[in-house]
Amino acid sequence: MNKQDNKRSKNSKRRGSGKGRTNAVAAVSTAPVQKNDEVVLDIIGLTHEAEGVGRVEGFTLFVQNALPGEKVRALVLKVKKQYGFAKVLERVVDSPYRVETEHPAHYYGGCQLQHLAYDEQLRWKRQHVVDVLERIGKFGVEQADDGATRAANAGSAIGETQVKVLPTIGMDNPWRYRNKSQMPIGQNERTGGLIGGYYAKASHRIMDTDVSLIQHEVHDEAMRVVKELARKHGIQPYNEESHTGLLRHVVMRIGFRTNELMITLVTNGKRIPQQEEFVEDLVKALPQLKSVCQNINNKQTNVILGDKTRLLWGSEYITDYIGDIKFEISARSFYQVNPVQTEVLYEKAVEYAGLTGKETVIDAYCGIGTISLFLAQRAKRVLGVEIVEEAIDDARRNAEINGIQNAEFAVGAAEEVMPRWQEQGETADVIVVDPPRKGCDQALLDTMLEMRPERIVYVSCNPSTLARDLRILADGGYQVVEVQPVDMFPHTAHVECCSLLVWNGNNE
Which residues are tagged catalytic?
461
Angle at 202 between CA 21 and CA 490, to 5 degrees: 145
Using alpha carbons, select from 414, 468, 401 the residue that is nearest to residue 437.
468
- Identify whether the C-beta of residue 35 lies closer than 8 Å to the C-beta of residue 77: yes
- Phi and psi at 320, nearest 5°, equal -155, 170
d(CA 399, CA 366): 12
Please state whether beta strands 141-143 and 163-165 pair in parallel, antiparallel, or not at all (unpaired).
Answer: parallel
In what side-by-side order are the strands of the sheet with 261-267?
A: 206-208, 194-199, 180-187, 247-254, 261-267, 289-296, 308-314
- Identify whether the C-beta of residue 38 lies closer than 8 Å to the C-beta of residue 61: no
d(CA 208, CA 200): 10
- In the chain, the largest separation of any two C-alpha atoms, in whole Å, equals 78
381 C-beta neighbours (distance < 10 Å), count: 18
- Identify whether the C-beta of residue 92 lies closer than 8 Å to the C-beta of residue 68: no
d(CA 116, CA 124): 10
d(CA 50, CA 64): 8
- Identify whether the C-beta of residue 217 lies closer than 8 Å to the C-beta of residue 175: no
